[in-house]
Amino acid sequence: MTLLAAEGVTLAYGTTAVVHDVSLSVDEGGVGLIGESGSGKTTLARALLGLLRPRSGVVRYGSADLAGLGRAGRAEFRRAVQPVFQDGSEALDPRMTAGASVAEALTTHHRVPRDERRDRVAALLTGVGLDPALAGRRPHEMSGGQRQRVAIARALAVEPRLLVLDEPTSALDVTVQARILDLLEGLAADRGLGYLLITHNLGVVGRLCRTSSVLFAGRVVESGPTADLLTRPAHPYTRALRDAVPRLGGEPPRTAGRTEAAPAPTGCPFRLRCPWAADHCRDEAPELRELGGRKVACHRAEEVLTTPASSIPASPAARVPRDGGEAPDAPRQ
Amino acid sequence: MTTPALPLYRRTPLRRLAGVDRLAVAGGVLLGIVVLAALLAPWIAPYPEDGGSATHPLEALLPPGGDHWFGTDQVGRDVFSRVLFGARTSLFIAVAVLAVSGVAGVALGVVAGYAGGWARDVIMRVTDVFLAFPALLLSLALAVVLQPSVTTVIVAIAITWWPWYARLTASVAASVSTRGFVDSARCLGVPAPLIVLRHVLPNSLTPVLVQLSLDGGGVILTAAALSYLGLGAHEPTPEWGLMVQQGQSLFTTDWWVVTFPGLAILVTAFAFNVLGEGLRARLAR
Amino acid sequence: MTLISVRDLVVRIGDRVIASVPELDVAAGECVAIVGESGSGKTTTLLSTLGLLHGADVAGKIRVGETDVLTASPARLREIRGSRAALVVQSPQAALNPTMRLGTLMRRALARHGVKGARARERAEEAVRAVLLDPEILRRHPHQVSGGQAQRFVIALALALGAQVLLADEPTSALDVTVQAEVVAVLRRLRDERGLAVLLVSHDLALVSTIADRVVVMRDGAVVESGPAAEVFARPRDPYTRELIAAVPRLPEPAGMDEEGS
């Protein structure tokens, strides 16, 4: 069942649109949203959290338009959907103790008697694998992993159905990362909690998300079952993201064309970085289309699917080292 | 944590070399003495009645000596006692102005910073209008319209000072409002007024507190200037600016009448500045 | 040729040992990685090899090139850091003067080493190309380049000054995976084609496994395991190394694309 959905959402800061006509639906199975920094993934997450109004399009909670929710509906939405941000030190008020942060969440929607509050906070901290004695610590007195657990406990305090996780582990050491992912996996199994996981690292989506969408320059370029995207990507960008992930003892990561090339203003936005780019890609922007159980926006997806790793064409940037005539001279966001 | 080996431009921490902490402590001690003098004036002043309207025509304009450490003024009042009582007036004005303008400025600033959009625009345009007037000129105009009194001085100065705090707070609050913990509170459904009080305000306060302590000296100087121009405190209120004004014609013959209240102004303003500067350096660390 | 050699290094703050490394050598054309979590002492070790550790007691023997780091004069150390050995940090943009174009920065650095005029321009462009950047980047200011570009520019700067040793402290952990792959490609290339000695500090084992020739695993200030990278990753002896390896997120292997394609 769809918990939260974007339908044709366009988002803009001032006059610059950063997300173009994106549709995405999040269900209990977990959904990954994958892209580089500047792809618009965090902006889209803010819209799904109701922190940013779409320029056009609709964000739906269940069947209701988020923008049209009344007071009661809004409160219900707030209880059901909670964020966990990249860095616990950013997401926790530096002046509040861990206990106070969790207690704030507990008491926002319900009156909780003072003596009961302490026990509930302790239970929530224990639930995310923390010693309840940490309740008295402030964020700067805890490790990165502990802060992230407190942030998760705070989100869980309202008993949500969906967590929006924005790069929840990328600021952490690998072993801590793995433990946080274990925790999230366990929570999904025990409570039927759904996730929208936003990340640039394909290595983490596989564990938590049944389906994924890949975002490039504010557009969905591929979406479908996560396992398919990881094993047989149909879009050159998905493939580039996948091949860039370092594997233990594996081949060195493959570079994905020149990442500094800005999205092309006309035709396919990825063409300046794309090894498969053809004349057709310059003239016509590809639409999202169905292809074997997934959606992909690429004219040459069939070829991308079947080209072996050993014969990927050289990317355009590699062919013309002094390229840049077409790429606007702007810094990446 | 790490120091790159490549071209790196880093300012030498001059303030730290200068022994900021000692400076701040010195400012605090100095200010403490002034506060003590103000609080204990009725008990430590050798002639407490001279803090008011007493006159001793026979002892007028005595030079500093054993009985009168700072000499006496035109009507024979002990200048030392009046300087002590003057500390009460000056500090009261300073505290009142900073409290009124600080509370007003911070309240408006934090709302503007959190709300953004048109609310921010309206509040910021109003503060711009106030900031466009030279502060002393606006205070002067107000003091002329209202009756000269200590209250007038407080109102006049506070009206010209709050916009600074509003602007400072608004910019800090705007950046605090973009932080994750504010978004997190919004996503929990915490009502906006509570978010502002609980998260935005406490995390925006530090720079304003530093600015307030730096400004204490400025308020005392401005108050003294207004009183000096006859627009503030009036006889027989012991006020340092007023005392300077009343004694200035005597400077060539009876220097002590002007000099000691003038020094009191200087020392107090200096103490505030040093303390504020010390706090700023400490918090910047 | 061994360019970095560390023997019996013990770093203390007060009575507490924060890093202890009995032996660490990095030869020309070799990449050695120190792996561990925050607090393991890996960055401490890296910084002490350049004499950059302040407020701590450093004992032992550290040699960079011909220079004994612990007894060298401050002037000599500055010279080494300026030319022979360069430090690459996680967020290089903070180390670049924002008011100067990258080319100007590079030119001034070269001028300090007596390289001027056309020769300086040539060297700058050559170094920038060596890190797979377009020389056009020299016309930009630091805020006009991405994190990955800034990272590679800092490496180019070191190259132009003739660095033979690169010390990299989590050089890619603030970057997107795609950009990270570029930086790794650059490091590999410099090691293989120019014979640079690279000492890399990272908590990311998967990344390390794609570039390091040898690995040193540290925990709580001590070395728990070290050896050739392939050996350590294939047959970890220490339980902690095994834990680190188990923590690496796994990607499913690409489906049999090669068969399909051929």
Check C87 against B9: CB less than 8 A apart: no
The string of pLDDT tens digits covering residues B74-115 is 888 999 999 999 999 889 999 999 999 999 999 999 999 999
Check B179 against A90: CB less than 8 A apart: yes
Span B19-46+73-284 CATH architecture:
Orthogonal Bundle (1.10)
Give the residue among B268, B274, B279, B276 at the shortest CA–CA distance from B33: B268
* Averaged pLDDT of chain C: 88
Answer whether residue A330 shows pLDDT above 50. no
pLDDT of residue B4: 35
C38: number of Cβ within 10 Å: 14
Domain region containing A247: 232-319
Question: Residue C129 is encoded by which pair of tokens?
Answer: 């190309």
pLDDT of residue B284: 64
The string of pLDDT tens digits covering residues B204-260 is 998 998 899 888 888 888 888 888 888 888 878 888 988 888 888 888 888 998 999
Answer whether residue C143 shows pLDDT above 80. yes
Whether C86 is covered by a domain: the verdict is yes
Whether C259 is covered by a domain: the verdict is no
Question: Residue B200 is encoded by which pair of tokens?
Answer: 């935005």
Check A51 against B187: CB less than 8 A apart: yes
Whether A227 is covered by a domain: the verdict is no
Nearest-CA distance C231 → chain B (Å): 31
Check A85 against B183: CB less than 8 A apart: yes
Percent above pLDDT 70 for chain B: 92
The string of pLDDT tens digits covering residues A194-237 is 999 999 878 788 888 999 999 999 999 999 999 999 999 999 99
User: Do residues A203 and A242 both lie within one domain?
Assistant: no
Q: Is B10 on the interface with C (CB under 8 A)?
A: no
pLDDT of residue A173: 85
Smallest CA–CA distance from C229 into chain A, residue = A249
Check C184 against A144: CB less than 8 A apart: no
User: Do residues A130 and A188 both lie within one domain?
Assistant: yes
Exposure on the CB side of residue A224, measured as CA atoms within 13 A: 22
User: What residues pair up with A199 in beta bridges, in sequence order?
Assistant: A34
Chain A residues 85-144 with a CB less than 8 Å from chain B: 85-87, 90-95, 101, 104-105, 108-109
Q: Beta strands A162-166 and A194-199: pairing type?
A: parallel
Percent above pLDDT 90 for chain C: 44
Quote ipTM for the complex: 0.85
Chain B residues 161-200 with a CB less than 8 Å from chain A: 179-181, 183-190, 198-199
Residues of C in contact with B7 (CB under 8 A): 95-97, 105, 108-109, 157
Whether C257 is covered by a domain: the verdict is no
Residue ranges per structural domain of chain B: 19-46+73-284
CA distances from B183 to A68, A111, B190, B195, C77 (A): 20, 22, 10, 10, 47
pTM of the predicted model over 0.80: yes
pLDDT of residue A161: 93
Residues of B in contact with A85 (CB under 8 A): 180, 183-184
User: What residues pair up with B26 in beta bridges, in sequence order?
Assistant: none
Check A154 against B184: CB less than 8 A apart: yes
Answer whether residue B18 shows pLDDT above 50. no
Whether C229 is covered by a domain: the verdict is yes
Query: Among partner residues C136, C211, C251, which is closest to A206 by beta-carbon distance?
Result: C251
Answer whether residue C255 shows pLDDT above 90. no
Domain with residue A178: its CATH number is: 3.40.50.300
Domain region containing C215: 2-91+166-247
Whether C143 is covered by a domain: the verdict is no
User: Do residues A56 and A107 both lie within one domain?
Assistant: yes
Distance between CA atoms of residues B268 and B257, nearest Å: 18
First-to-last alpha carbon distance for chain B, in angstroms, is 14
Residues of B in contact with A109 (CB under 8 A): 189
Check C154 against B4: CB less than 8 A apart: yes
Check B187 against A93: CB less than 8 A apart: no
Q: Is B283 on the interface with A (CB under 8 A)?
A: no
Give the residue among B153, B137, B155, B143 at the shortest CA–CA distance from B233: B153
Whether A66 is covered by a domain: the verdict is yes
pLDDT of residue B246: 86
Residues of C in contact with A322 (CB under 8 A): 134, 136
- Mean pLDDT to the nearest integer, A245-251: 80
Query: Among partner residues A82, A93, A94, which is closest to B187 by beta-carbon distance?
Result: A82
Residue type, A122: A
Give all chains having 3 or more CB-to-CB distances under 8 Å with chain A: B, C
pLDDT of residue B3: 35
User: Do residues A110 and A172 both lie within one domain?
Assistant: yes
pLDDT of residue B167: 94
User: Do residues A297 and A197 both lie within one domain?
Assistant: no
pLDDT of residue C261: 37
Domain with residue C50: its CATH number is: 3.40.50.300
Count of structural domains, chain A? 2
Question: Residue B237 is encoded by which pair of tokens?
Answer: 């209120």
Check C178 against A241: CB less than 8 A apart: yes
Distance between CA atoms of residues B226 and B94, nearest Å: 13
Q: pLDDT higher for A328 or C6?
A: C6
Q: pLDDT higher for A89 or B223?
A: B223
Query: Residue A256's pLDDT band (boundaries 50, 70, 90)?
Result: low
The string of pLDDT tens digits covering residues C45-98 is 998 988 888 778 899 999 998 889 888 888 888 888 877 888 888 877 777 888
User: Do residues A197 and A269 both lie within one domain?
Assistant: no
Smallest CA–CA distance from C94 into chain B, residue = B8
User: Do residues A305 and A193 both lie within one domain?
Assistant: no
Question: Of A184, A214, A244, which closes a domain?
Answer: A214
Q: pLDDT higher for B171 or A292?
A: B171
Answer whether residue C256 shows pLDDT above 80. no
Interface test with C, best of A173, A177, A303, A305 (most C CBs within 10 A): A173
User: Do residues A59 and A180 both lie within one domain?
Assistant: yes
Whether C156 is covered by a domain: the verdict is no
* Averaged pLDDT of chain B: 85
Which of A160-169, B155-164, C11-20, C83-92 bottoms out in mean pLDDT, i.e. has the lowest? C83-92
pLDDT of residue B20: 55
Count of structural domains, chain C? 1
Whether C144 is covered by a domain: the verdict is no
Query: Residue B278's pLDDT band (boundaries 50, 70, 90)?
Result: confident
Q: Is B11 on the interface with C (CB under 8 A)?
A: no
Check B186 against A51: CB less than 8 A apart: yes
